[in-house]
Amino acid sequence: MELSGKVALVTGGAQGIGKAVGLMLAKNGSEVVISDVNFEMARSTAEEIEKIGRRALAIEANVARFEDGEKMVRETVEALGRIDILINNAGITRDGLMLRMSEEDWDLVLDVNLKGAFNCTKAAIRHMVRQRSGKIVNIASVVGLMGNAGQANYAASKAGLIGFTKTVAREFASRGITVNAVAPGYIDTPMTQGLPENVKEELKKLIPLDRLGTPEDVAKAVFFLVTSASDYVTGQVLQVDGGLYM
């Protein structure tokens, strides 16, 4: 299988896009570590992966804390021997119009969505440098490219993540490490399922493919970026948005 012998760490992997990515990688041969702030959900997802026949590990961690980033990578290597793939997926929203947005909500979203990727990447990439190989995929968002009213903090964090992706890709290309981003559009996840039906219908009108995306749509793009099929691809942003922004 394409990912046989590989070890992947997926942050925010207990549900939604992260869970779909973890299952996709496992089905294609990878051992998978699921990191999440919700340990019970992370353990449940890890158990699903084990039923596929892959080794899996659940870790409770908050990516916004640097020590947690180091802990999850250390426990991954101790349990599974290496780390080949890092998926920086953990993310939150605290939406509100700019004039009403609190400093706390700004800081919290930037700490999880952007600083979290820095924390986990810095911890993981040391091992990848020694291996002279590795695949890092950052889950950004189309709003990091186009903006979105009421999401100044979220859009800024995802735009920052895109810049981070391109810079780390340049710094580590000579070590055989590729770093790319996937920018989902409106995806049917727990984060969007709370939207009223009429809002979802209005969103669909903006999407040329006339539907919200699924976590599996995103997982397929991530899968491409962590396989040998993408060995000559780095520093790129792959939009998975049904044509929303083009």
Instruction: Quick: pLDDT tens for 102-111.
Output: 999 999 999 9
Q: Under a CB-based contact definition with an 8 Å cutoff, are residues 15 and 37 in contact?
A: no
Enter the tokens of residue 38.
Answer: 């919700």
Split at pLDDT 50, 70, 90, the class of 197 is confident
Split at pLDDT 50, 70, 90, the class of 196 is confident
Question: What pLDDT was estimated at residue 193?
Answer: 74
Question: What pLDDT was estimated at residue 200?
Answer: 78
Residue in this structure with the two tokens 């340990």, named with its chain if needed: 39
What interhelical angle do 152-172 and 116-131 show, nearest 10?
20
Enter the tokens of residue 192.
Answer: 């969007």
Question: What pLDDT was estimated at residue 4?
Answer: 97
Distances (CA, A) of 82 to 60, 95, 224, 225: 19, 37, 21, 19
Q: Rounded mean pLDDT of 225-245? A: 98
Question: What pLDDT was estimated at residue 238?
Answer: 98
Q: Under a CB-based contact definition with an 8 Å cutoff, are residues 82 and 132 in contact?
A: no
Question: What pLDDT was estimated at residue 93?
Answer: 93
Catalytic, out of 154, 186, 232, 245: 154
Indicate if the pLDDT at residue 204 is higher than 90.
Answer: no
Split at pLDDT 50, 70, 90, the class of 63 is very high
d(CA 102, CA 81): 43
Distances (CA, A) of 81 to 5, 6, 41, 74, 87: 10, 10, 24, 10, 18
Is residue 245 annotated as part of the catalytic site, yes or no? no
Instruction: Quick: pLDDT tens for 22-56.
Output: 999 999 999 999 999 999 999 999 999 999 999 99
**Percent share of the chain, pLDDT over 70:** 99
Question: What pLDDT was estimated at residue 9?
Answer: 98
Instruction: Quick: pLDDT tens for 100-147.
Output: 999 999 999 999 999 999 999 999 999 999 999 999 999 999 999 999
